[in-house]
Amino acid sequence: MTFKAKKSFGALYGIIVGILVFGFSFWGISYSLGPDDNALKVLLYIPAYLFLVVYIYLVLGAIRLKYVVNDDTFLLVWGVAKKHIAWDEIDEIIQIEGRSNLFPFMSMTWPGYVVGLFQLKGVGPVRMYGTHAKNGFLYLKTKRGFLGITPQDDSLAKKIAEKTGKEIQILDMETIPIEKKGHDMHTDRYFMLYTRLNNLFLAVFCLYVAIFFPNSGADRLIILLVVLAINLYLFNNANAKRLYQFSQQGGYFTLLIGMAVTGIFLILSVVQISFS
């Protein structure tokens, strides 16, 4: 019996964003650097292609995500990977309810998709394979690790309970004190303010170059600055979320650094385009 994850546009979102980001990045590197810059081109292309391979693997996971109940095992299908868990290996079935605080370790998230290793603050570690998990998911404690999945309804939990003979436990995250659950970055007004300012700075930079660079006669390296700004933005935001759980001030500072770098790139572009 096959159960799908909560409906989302996570796979489609990943495909569209991947095409835009990687497509622009590869084009920008090629456009900005000439025949005399082959060494630099190679240095930029190598990590770009490595990240592309990983990204394709993640998107494939989003496309092929499903949960299967067999006679003797629970089967998790994620991309080309399959994880078999015998029914006697499942120790606890916990329905997480309410807004959870998932602290990322080695993970990837975007709207409608969450995968990788997290710390569910106040509860314990969890390896997530799902879509929408922020306001609740199914937490399986097994002898082979702790899994977080996001089925469409409670029918999968009931089926697992039937197969294992275990009761479904309900854990309301609102009952966990803030000292254990930690601060949620999504409700931190300063973190969200700095995140929005990062978004604004990047949008202004990209829009400015798109409008004024064509036919300006400015150096083509301006396009490379845009490529670097976009990729640094993605890298910096991910690190800010990780650092926030150890130090709120560290998370703020990381976002401020991102704003500063994008601002410097914008100033350099304005100087080049306006006075070239």
pTM for the model = 0.87
Instruction: Specify whether the CB–CB gap between 157 and 170 falls below 8 A.
Output: no
51-95 per-position pLDDT tens digit: 999 999 999 999 999 999 999 999 999 998 999 999 999 999 999
Backbone conformation region of residue 75, classed left if phi is above 0, alpha if psi is from -120 to 50, else beta: beta
The SS3 of residue 203 is: helix
Helical H segments across the chain, by residue range: 10-32, 38-63, 155-164, 178-181, 189-212, 221-244, 248-275
What pLDDT is attached to residue 19?
A: 96
What pLDDT is attached to residue 73?
A: 93
Backbone conformation region of residue 65, classed left if phi is above 0, alpha if psi is from -120 to 50, else beta: beta
123 has a pLDDT exceeding 70: yes
* Distance spanning both ends of the chain, measured CA to CA: 65
* Confidence band of 267 (pLDDT split at 50, 70, 90): very high
188-214 per-position pLDDT tens digit: 889 999 999 999 999 999 999 999 988
What pLDDT is attached to residue 184?
A: 76
What pLDDT is attached to residue 202?
A: 95
The SS3 of residue 115 is: strand
